Every structure is written in C-alpha cells, then in structure tokens.
Amino acid sequence: MAGAGFFLTVEGIDGVGKSTQARMLAGRLRVLGREVVETREPGGAPGAEEIRRLLVEGDPERWSPETETLLFTAARRDHLERVIRPALARGAVLVCDRYVDSTRAYQGAGAPERRQLVDRLHRLAIGFDPDLTLIFDMDPAAALERARSRASDRQEDRFERKGIVFQARLRQEFLAIAAAEPARCALIDAARPPESVAGQVWAAVAPRLGLTP
C-alpha cells in the first residue's frame, strides 16, 4: 500500500514543539528534492477536519474516552483514504503531526480496556502503521506553559485544559510506547534548543531515507 513512499509521524504531549520541528524537517527535505506532504490528526482531510472541531474544541469533559476513540478512528479512516494512501503510493514523504500513538496515549491512558479498544479499532479500521515515529519529550510543566503561551484566542485547547496531571500521565504513556517499539520509535529530547532538536530529528530520519545524517 505504501509504494515507495515513507510515512513519518511526530508525537508528544502538548507544547513540545513537534509541529515546528515537523515543518523544519519538511522544508529541509524539499530542498533536497523530495516531495513532502505535511498533514495532521485529527484532520488532514475535509471530513476529518469536521470531526477535528468536535474533538479539540469545547469543554474538556465533552466526550468520554471511548467516544473520543470512535471519533478519532473515523477521522483517521477518512485521512487514510484521502491523503495518506495516495501520497505514499506516489512515493512522497508524508509527515503527519499525530497518529494512532496519540489515541493510545490520550484515550487509552490508565485503563487497559480502553487501550485494547484503541488497538482493536486500529487493526480493524486502519491497519496501517508508520515507518518511523518521532516522540518528542520534555518536562510536562514546561511544555504546558509553552502551549498556554500561544495566541490567547486559540480555541483548540480542550486537551491542554485537562491540566498538568493529565499531561504528566500522557508523557509516561508516550515514553512507554517508545520503549515498547524501539525499531519504529525514536525519542527526541525536546527541551534542548531548537537547532539541537532539529539535529536529533535529522539524525533519526536521514538514515531511514538513505540520506547523510
């Protein structure tokens, strides 16, 4: 299904700077002549973007984790059909800001039965995993402060408003994912200066694309 393309996902708690680093990486790859498709979840396709608004806006307790899992999976399926598969089939590097690991961490955290639901739905409805996942890690308090310093009119702050305890739990979930799948996941120290973080990103990605680290 992936053809000659390469599927890269970036993950981490809110405020770690993964989106900025993803844009920087995409720009560097384009300079080298690679076609790069930048996308995000939830969203990335018209129907998925409609679902995104239901998930990232509004009261923090708007949905149960189980309902969120169903909504995320529906959005992901639309994204897979309309963006991910076509891009990879034509040989592009697809850089996706969040994917199923975020659902595992955010909706499956602290409850084995919910994590099992996430994984079961992923197998049944998606069945497609990244070639490489970069997991950006830093202190949750610092990351949350950075996230809250963004524009004050941001509406997409539903998960940030769940607070520091929630963010700390998410960090542990992401670290566990990285430890469980070292062949797929690379841990990035996001507390370093941006140039240093970009260097870590390039060192993880370049060899997988046959480029000089």
Give the span between the Cα atoms of 23 and 29, in whole angstroms.
10
Question: Does 1 map to a domain?
Answer: no
Question: Does 26 map to a domain?
Answer: yes
Question: Does 120 map to a domain?
Answer: yes
Q: Which domain holds residue 45?
A: 6-209
The CATH number that applies at residue 14 is: 3.40.50.300
Of the chain, the percentage scoring pLDDT greater than 70 comes to 91
Whole-angstrom CA distances from 105 to 85, 135, 136, 201 are 24, 12, 13, 21
Question: Does 197 map to a domain?
Answer: yes
Which candidate, 11, 29, 52, places its Cα nearest to that of 170?
A: 11
Question: For residue 58, is pLDDT > 50?
Answer: yes
Q: What is the pLDDT of residue 167?
A: 85
Region 88-96: what's the mean pLDDT?
Answer: 97
Write down the pTM of the prediction.
Answer: 0.89
Q: What is the pLDDT of residue 153?
A: 46
Question: For residue 6, is pLDDT > 90?
Answer: yes
If one counts the domains in the chain, the total is 1
Question: Does 30 map to a domain?
Answer: yes
Bridge-partner residues for 40, per DSSP?
97
Token couple for 64:
């149960």
Question: For residue 2, is pLDDT > 50?
Answer: no
CA-angle at 21, arms to 17 and 23, nearest 5°:
120
Model pLDDT for residues 116-161, shown as the tens digit of each residue: 999 999 999 999 999 999 999 999 988 878 777 664 445 545 556 6
Of the chain, the percentage scoring pLDDT greater than 90 comes to 69
Give the span between the Cα atoms of 122 and 107, in whole angstroms.
13
Question: For residue 163, is pLDDT > 70?
Answer: no
Question: For residue 1, is pLDDT > 50?
Answer: no
Residues in the chain: 213
Question: Does 203 map to a domain?
Answer: yes
Which candidate, 192, 9, 199, 188, places its Cα nearest to that of 97?
A: 9
